[in-house]
Structure 1
Amino acid sequence: MKKFLLFTFLSTVLISCNGNAQKNSKETEEYEVSKTEEEWKEVLTPAEFAVLRKAETERPFSSELNDIKEPGTFVCAACGNELYKTKHKFKSGTGWPSFDRAIEGGVAYGSDSKLGYQRDEVHCARCGGHLGHVFNDGPSETTGKRHCINGIAMDFIPEKE
């Protein structure tokens, strides 16, 4: 009887350790564009890899994309997925390109607590690359959101005339 109870207890513990938290982690999500770490290193610059694949942050005011005002589309530097339009870009003063909304279906959201508190993370919906974070201090006359995005994580494609 003791062996049966011990077996039942151990079986229950082992089964319960396989919870949904492991299944929902970003590392196990599947994306349309999926590569190994080594494959990403081959196609991204070291700075792009650090931000897009390791969720690091570029220095503020270091991106050439901060000053872009011409019509066009900002795309993921890793996979070319369309993320943001210039018409939704605004000057936030933070040092990173900021947008009040994304192109529908272009980004996905998660959360991180790297700084000791919960933040809403923005990543590419096609490849999972880390883009930045979204905050609730954007323009009140539009969405009230500020998508604070690392410029190194994007490329800009000007609108054709």
Structure 2
Amino acid sequence: MKKIIKSSGFTLIELMVVVAIVAIFVAIAIPSYQEYARRAVASQAQQEIQRLATLLDRHKARNFSYRRFMTTSATLPVGAIGSAIKYTLTIRDGNDPDLDLTDDDATGRNWAIQAVSSDDKNFTMLLTSTGMRCKNKTTANVDFESCGSTANGSEEW
């Protein structure tokens, strides 16, 4: 008498169906997660810009000018180096964007903070002491005076 061997397990077709379903989930999830991570980093940059703006206002309250504000640039995350840098923040004189606020020729009446993303799919942002808040995904459109036009992708934040 022959014994019937009952096999248990999955067929190759069943395994391929599972792999295809997992691949579809991954194809949807990874881009969504990357966008979420970009938004989180951009939000962190906005918070840091606003923190620096508060420090600049405190400096002006004590010194009657923005001149000699010692921080001219920062990186995000704070203290990051190399490829870990997500944003580079730069503070300039609002009347002459070629000058740092530490420069002797700076007027110190206005300031501009620019945050440039290391990820070309994320926003470059600008905040000025005159109230301009804008962002643009094209870094070349953002200087220390504007973010370009809305036709070029400029948005308020």
TM bin (shorter chain): 0.3 to 0.5
Normalising by structure 2, we get a TM-score of: 0.32
Higher helix share: 2
Bigger strand fraction: 1
The structure with more radius of gyration: 2
Greater relative contact order (CA < 8 Å, ≥ 6 in sequence): 1
> TM-score by structure 1 length?
0.32
